[in-house]
A = this chain, B = another copy of it.
Amino acid sequence: MPTRRTTVRRAPHRGVYDREVVHAILDAGRVAHVGFVHEGQPFVIPMAYARDGDRLLLHGSGGSRMMRALAGGAPACVTVTIVDGLVLARSVFHHSMNYRSVVAVGTATKLAGKEKATALETLVDALVPGRSDEARGPDRAELASTMILAFPLEEVSAKVRSGPPVDDPEDVSLPIWAGTVPLALEYGHPEAAPDVAEGVPVPPSVSGLIRRSPAP
């Protein structure tokens, strides 16, 4: 639900509060930009993430300044943006981008025990669905050195721009091309690590990735 802090103020017609739209954007994104404040200075750090129902999972080193601040209940903002294209108008002024973004504000909580181990697998599966079944699971030392945070999707809003440019009526007939150029994050060919054991094939998780479009 939109609150005073998450109501889209600029271009409010682009604001979306529908849970399914928010979830679809988060599921299609790859990187979250996490904002926190340290001694009055905001910092914005890119992080991998996973959506787990009505919360986001974020992981990092337990020694990181940001992770410690977030685990301590510091106010935070998590933003995910997907660029869908360039928007070329007849006028310089109306040039824009097509995009989908989600902004969530709130405070994180630190996960522990069984929930933490499951969350680590959810994070890997968000990157590459099915991968956690193929890879060696985390041991106690690895779990101990990782911090996993859950961030609520309560105060959250989405913003979406799509479609052609919107020019001023008097510009439409100008002999200037206008339109959009789509942009999408696309997978390349998998590259095996130089030291992969002989005869190990590319696994189903990776072949599955390449078959799917990364940004539905």
Contacts and interface: CB of A to CB of B under 8 A. Distances in A.
Copies per assembly? 2
Nearest to A46: B81
A75 to B, nearest CB: 5
Interface string A115-159: 000001101100110011011111100100010000000000000
Contacts of A60: 10
Contacts of A31: 81, 83, 97, 99
A112 interface: no
A95 B124 contact: yes
Q: Is the interface of A mostly helix, strand, loop or mixed?
A: mixed
Nearest to A106: B41
Interface residues of A, number: 100
B188 A175 contact: no
B9 A64 contact: yes
Contact of A77 (B42, B91, B138, B194): B42
Contact of A190 (B45, B81, B179, B191): B179
Interface string A68-80: 0000000111110
B179 A196 contact: yes
Contact of A35 (B35, B128, B179): B35
Contacts of A36: 42
A77 B43 contact: yes
Nearest to A91: B136
A105 B38 CA distance: 12
